Amino acid sequence: MVDGHYSLELERITCRFASRDDPGMPYVAVAEASLAVRAGEFVAVVGPTGCGKSTLLNVAAGLLAPSSGAVRVHGEPLVGINRKAGYMFQADALMPWRSALANVTAGLEFRGIEAGEARAQGQAWLQRVGLGGFGARYPHQLSGGMRKRVALAQMLALDPEILLMDEPFSALDVQTRQLMENELLALWSANRKSVIFITHDLEEAISLSDRVIVLSAGPGTHPIGEFVIDLPRPRDVAEIRLTPRFVALHTRIWHAMKDEVMKAYAAQYAPLPEGA
C-alpha cells in the first residue's frame, strides 16, 4: 500500500506576512511547520480557522515562497510551480469565461493536447463527477456544488500525482458532501495519489484519510499532533462514522484539538469593551 517514499515534504516552513498596520512587525502565520506525505497516502490537515492551512498548501503548490524552510517533491527541492500537483482551491477558481467543459479541458489545452482528444477526456471527467449534461454551461449558470465538482474534474483531468485540496466540500450540504467524499475515495482507491486534504471538519478528516495532522492555532502555526487512522478500506463515509473505532479516534483527536480551537477563538473574537 504505502511505501516509505515521500512524494511531498514540507520542512520547517515559516511564513511571515508584512502587516499593513505595522510594517516593522510582520505577522508570522506559520512557524517551523514540517509535514510529509508518502506516495499514495491520504493525509488530512485540520486546524482552526485562520491558522494557516491555505498558506501551507500554497507553499506546497509552489504558489507562495516560504520565508524560510524547504519544500521537496520526490526528494527534489521545489522550484517555481509544483508541476506534479493539482490544486483544488478554497475559493471559486474556475475561469468564468469558459464553459464547464472548457474549464475541465483547460489544463490539457495548456499542455498542447489536441482539442478533440482533450474534449473527449474532459467530457469523460464531467461524466465521472455527475455533470455529463452540463458541459456547455458557464460557471455562473452552475450551483456552488456543481462548480466544486467541475473544479474537481478540472484538477483530476491532468492526472496529477499529488492532490492538494483546500476545504473542497465545505460549501456543500451534508448529503451532497458525503456523495462527493465517497466519490473521491472511489477515484482515489482506483488510482492512488498522494493527497493533502484540508478541512476544518474533524469527522470528514477521519473518515477520508490515512493520517490526520492537527495544526495549532495561529500565529506561529505548526503541527501539534499526528494520528494514524487505521479504519479499514474501502470506506463509506456515512457508515464509518458510526463504528466504535471511529468514535474512539474522534474523541482522541478532538481532545487534542479543543485547546487550539479555544485559543483561536479567543484570539479572533476579543471580548467586546464594557458597555458595548
Partner 1 sequence: MKVRYAQLLLLFALLLGWGLLTDPRVPAFYFDNPDKAAFFFGEPLKVLGRLANWFVGGEIYPHLWVTLLETLLAFVLGTVGGIAMGLWLGLAPTAAAILDPYIKALNAMPRVILAPIFMVWFGLGMASKVALGITLVFFIVFFNVYQGVREVSPAVLANARMLGASQRQLLRHVYMPSALSWVFASLHNSVGLAFVGAVVGEYLGSAEGVGYLIHQAEGVFDINTVIAGILLLTLFALVLDGAVGWIESRLMVWQPHAGDTTQL
Ligand X SMILES: Nc1ncnc2c1ncn2[C@@H]1O[C@H](COP(=O)(O)OP(=O)(O)OP(=O)(O)O)[C@@H](O)[C@H]1O
> Which of 91, 174, 190, 242: binder of partner 1 (CB under 8 A)?
91
118 binding ligand X? (CB under 6 A): no
User: Which residue, 138 or 254, has its beta carbon nearer to ligand X?
Assistant: 254
> Which of 6, 26, 36, 54: binder of Mg ion (CB under 5 A)?
54
Q: Which helix (H) or strand (E) holds 32?
A: strand 27-38
Q: How many CB atoms lie within 10 A of CB 203?
A: 14
User: Which residue, 94 or 185, has its beta carbon nearer to partner 1?
Assistant: 94
**Per rule CB under 5 A, count of chain residues that contact Mg ion:** 2
Over the window 98 to 137, marking each residue x when it contacts partner 1 by CB under 8 A and - when it does not, the resulting string is xx------xx--xx--------------------------
92 binding partner 1? (CB under 8 A): yes
Residue 139, sorted as left (phi over 0), alpha (psi -120 to 50) or beta, turns out to be: alpha
| Minimum CB distance to partner 1, residue 107 (Å) | 4
Contacts of partner 1 in 21-80 (CB under 8 A): 58, 61, 63
**Per rule CB under 6 A, count of chain residues that contact ligand X:** 14
The cell numbers describing 194, all together, are 498522494
User: Pick from ligand X, partner 1, Mg ion, none: which does 17 bind, CB < 5 to 8 A by kind?
Assistant: ligand X
Expressed in angstroms, the distance from the first to the final Cα of the chain is 58
* Residues 156, 92: Cα–Cα separation, whole Å: 16
Q: How many CB atoms lie within 10 A of CB 161?
A: 18
Q: Which one-letter DSSP state was computed for residue 216?
A: P
Residue 59, sorted as left (phi over 0), alpha (psi -120 to 50) or beta, turns out to be: alpha
The cell numbers describing 232, all together, are 479499514
The cell numbers describing 126, all together, are 464531467
> Which of 13, 218, 235, 237: binder of ligand X (CB under 6 A)?
218
Contact 6, 75 (CB under 8 A): yes
* Residues 52, 217: Cα–Cα separation, whole Å: 8
Instruction: Find the part of the chain contacting partner 1 (CB under 8 A) among 20-28, 45-53, 81-89, 261-269.
Output: 81-89
| Minimum CB distance to ligand X, residue 26 (Å) | 9
Report which of 76, 63, 61 is spatially closest to residue 5, judged by C-alpha positions. 76
Q: Contact residues for partner 1 (CB under 8 A)? A: 58, 61, 63, 81-83, 85-87, 89, 91-99, 106-107, 110-111, 138-141, 154, 158
What residue ranges bind ligand X (CB under 6 A)?
A: 17, 27, 29, 47, 49-55, 90, 200, 218
